[in-house]
């Protein structure tokens, strides 16, 4: 049969109602354990000689349906569900490294990923380097004999810098080093790192995949061999397994991923144009903005720019905070990818743990605002932003 389109797979792949008494919606197998028909069957299951479920932390049919679906959507061999995005990140990095190894990272990682890398250095002497990854030479210069993986986020939060994944994968292949991509900010609808030659994809499914701000979860996709290794070691024994109800919420969220991503992206593009024209705004950051220095790369590897934008309000930190306080219905909150537009102040919230000097180097000033465009009418989002921007102190705004 002809390969079905993404919009169809996102609804169907990995689940057949015929196997579940005709239930159109994937049933939630709310159970902690699974019964064996005989002692011998239990023995065979534990020995891995017979497929089948054993215990909730080792697998669940609702979670399996989601795992199959995300693997197909990312064009990978296998998928694995986790309790949180960070459970997926930690299980992956611990599986890929041993004491004294080295990890080469993109600059500006998710705060808790940065925290985990710090912990791995303190406890196991696993060192990390953070580089811009804007040329093959620069990547080659930083690869060491003990480099065990390359870890990339693109677009980078919150400044929306884009890294050329095909280029990173090409260099990594020369050294036979796996490339891990945190694909949270794009979702598989907009960017598929495995198609670009990368090896492993991670998602905080909390964001676009869930899409409704009601679940915290993580997903991992890669080669069958690597996924089973993680499933049988760093997931099974550390224990960050996904709950069946969360898997059900994500299966439900995924069905509308393509239409949500189209809308999030369309709204973001329009709001970016409005922001750029406003006198009290400077430096607007968005992957699909023509003025973004990485525009060409973004166009090459992403279908659309997604819903997150960042911009600076003229003035100082206080002005930026007052800008947030004056918003009428847009919500001040961290996270992204929800139906609601949510907006935050990275320097004092998501990136507060990063020392000010490093923050400045990453482009995170005290007036930077990050916003995740929701599914509301763009006119209403803009009206709320505009009334608050208009009130930015005009004398301060000269800065």
Positions marked catalytic: 57, 110, 182, 207
207 binds ligand PLP (CB under 6 A): yes
CB of 52 to ligand PLP, least distance (A): 29
Phi, psi of 119 (to 5 degrees): -60, -40
84 binds ligand PLP (CB under 6 A): yes
114 binds ligand PLP (CB under 6 A): no
Comparing every residue's Cβ against ligand PLP, the nearest one is 85
**Cβ neighbours of residue 105 under 8 Å, at least 6 residues apart?**
117, 128, 129, 130, 131, 150, 151, 152
Which of 6, 4, 24 lies closest to 65, judged by CA?
24
Nearest residue (CB) to ligand PLP, 155 versus 315: 155
Maximum separation of any 2 CA atoms in the chain, in Å? 80
* Torsion sign (Cα): 57, 59, 63, 68: positive
CB of 242 to ligand PLP, least distance (A): 11
Distances (CA, A) of 220 to 88, 295, 342: 6, 28, 26
Q: What CA–CA distance (Å, rounded) separates 306 from 271? A: 12
Strand partners, 284: 311
Nearest residue (CB) to ligand PLP, 110 versus 286: 110
CB of 71 to ligand PLP, least distance (A): 19
3-state DSSP assignment of residue 26:
coil
Single out the residue of 74, 101, 164, 182 in contact with ligand PLP (rule: CB under 6 A): 182
Q: What CA–CA distance (Å, rounded) separates 95 from 115? A: 17
Single out the residue of 148, 184, 234, 344 in contact with ligand PLP (rule: CB under 6 A): 184
Single out the residue of 188, 218, 346, 363 in contact with ligand PLP (rule: CB under 6 A): 218
Neighbours of 213 (CB within 10 A): 19
216 binds ligand PLP (CB under 6 A): yes
204 binds ligand PLP (CB under 6 A): yes
CB of 216 to ligand PLP, least distance (A): 5
Nearest residue (CB) to ligand PLP, 90 versus 388: 90
183 binds ligand PLP (CB under 6 A): no
Residues that bind ligand PLP (CB under 6 A): 84-86, 110, 112, 153, 157, 182, 184-185, 204, 206-207, 216, 218
């Amino acid at each position: 049969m002809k390969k079905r389109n993404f919009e169809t797979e996102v609804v169907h792949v990995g689940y057949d109602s015929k196997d579940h008494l005709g239930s159109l919606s994937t049933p939630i197998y709310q159970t902690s354990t699974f019964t064996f028909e005989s002692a011998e069957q239990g023995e065979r299951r534990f020995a891995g000689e017979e497929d089948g479920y054993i215990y909730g932390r080792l697998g669940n049919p609702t979670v399996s349906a989601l795992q199959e679906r995300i693997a197909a959507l990312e064009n990978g061999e296998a998928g694995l569900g986790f309790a949180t995005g960070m459970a997926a990140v930690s299980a992956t990095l611990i599986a890929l490294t041993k004491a004294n190894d080295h990890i080469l990272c993109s600059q500006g990682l998710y705060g808790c990923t940065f925290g985990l890398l710090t912990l791995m250095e303190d406890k196991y002497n696993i060192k990390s380097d953070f580089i811009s990854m804007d040329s093959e030479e620069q990547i080659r210069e930083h690869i060491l004999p003990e480099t065990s993986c390359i870890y990339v986020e693109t677009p980078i939060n919150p400044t929306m810098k884009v890294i050329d994944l095909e280029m990173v994968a090409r260099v990594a292949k020369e050294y036979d080093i796996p490339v891990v991509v945190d694909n949270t900010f794009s979702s598989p609808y907009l960017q598929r790192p495995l198609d670009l030659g990368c090896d492993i994809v991670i998602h905080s499914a909390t964001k676009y995949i869930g899409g409704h701000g009601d679940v915290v979860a993580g997903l991992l996709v890669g080669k069958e061999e690597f996924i089973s290794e993680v499933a049988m070691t760093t997931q099974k024994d550390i224990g960050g397994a996904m709950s069946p109800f969360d898997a059900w919420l994500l299966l439900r969220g995924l069905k509308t991923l393509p239409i949500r991503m189209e809308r999030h992206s369309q709204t973001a593009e329009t709001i970016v144009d409005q922001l750029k024209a406003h006198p009290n705004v400077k430096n607007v950051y968005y992957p699909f903005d023509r003025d973004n220095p990485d525009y060409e790369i973004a166009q090459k590897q992403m279908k659309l720019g997604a819903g997150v934008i960042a911009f600076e309000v003229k003035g100082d930190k206080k002005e930026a905070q007052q800008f947030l306080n004056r918003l009428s219905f847009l919500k001040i909150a961290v996270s992204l990818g929800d139906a609601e537009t949510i907006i935050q102040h990275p320097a004092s919230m998501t990136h507060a743990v990063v020392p000010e000097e490093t923050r400045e180097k990453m482009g995170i000033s005290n007036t930077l605002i990050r916003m995740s465009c929701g599914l509301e009418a763009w006119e209403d989002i803009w009206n709320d932003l505009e009334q608050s921007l208009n009130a930015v102190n005009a004398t301060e705004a000269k800065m």
